[in-house]
Amino acid sequence: METIRRIREHIRVAQNQQKSYADKRRRPLEFQVGDKVFLKVSPTKGIKRFTVQGKLSPRYIGPYEIIEKLNLVPYRLDLPIELEHVHNVFHIFQLKKYISYPSHTIVSEPIEITENLVYEERLVQILDRRIKELRNKQIPLVKVLWTNHTSQEVTWETEEEMKVKYPHLFEVILPNMIKFISFEG
């Protein structure tokens, strides 16, 4: 009995020592209902969840809103339809607080959608013109800015197609661009 008592005492001392190491690094977490949080994708090494896989996958997904605090540790989240197959209660260590910044807000213009759920892209502006040279032919291209897209999402389209669809833009813009291009070349 004395040996068992000493073993239990040694185990208790070792556990207290390890707990003191862990408590120094652990920060107290607590969320309120309505807070936004990120959800950890991989709780343990080598396991991927939420259809997120691969080498360059994000560590957290979200943000999602907390809809219920069940106890000190579990929280219920408001997950989107894509994650309806996932149970919506998570341990506090799987969550990370989301701090909103004004730069995270994306302002979008309303998109006009027809009855059959299709929207039409319209040309806003022709930004540039160039000629792509292949072995036997030259293809004139124009750089096009579309509605509902940013300046980083411009595309190069063939000049013939754009002339057929948008002849009014070529009457005004293109003669000035041809003069500009002829000075360069």
126 pLDDT above the threshold of 80: yes
Q: Which domain holds residue 42?
A: 36-100
Angle CA 166–131–121, to nearest 5? 30
pLDDT digits (tens, 9 = 90+) for 135-165: 999 999 999 888 777 778 888 999 998 888 8
Name every residue whose Cβ is closer than 8 Å to that of residue 43 and which is 6 or more positions away in sequence: 49, 94
Give me the residues paired with residue 130 across strands: 141
Helix residue spans in 122-173 (DSSP H)? 159-165, 167-172
Indicate whether 138 belongs to any domain. yes
Q: What is the pLDDT of residue 105?
A: 63
Domain CATH for 132: 2.40.50
Q: What is the pLDDT of residue 46?
A: 58
Q: What is the pLDDT of residue 22?
A: 82
Indicate whether 62 belongs to any domain. yes
Q: Using 50, 70 and 90 to split pLDDT, how confident is the model at 54?
A: low
The model's pTM? 0.46
Closest CA relative to residue 78, chosen from 39, 30, 28: 39
Q: Using 50, 70 and 90 to split pLDDT, how confident is the model at 104?
A: low
Using CA atoms, how far apart are residues 32 and 127, in angstroms rounded to an integer?
49
Give the chain's domain count: 2
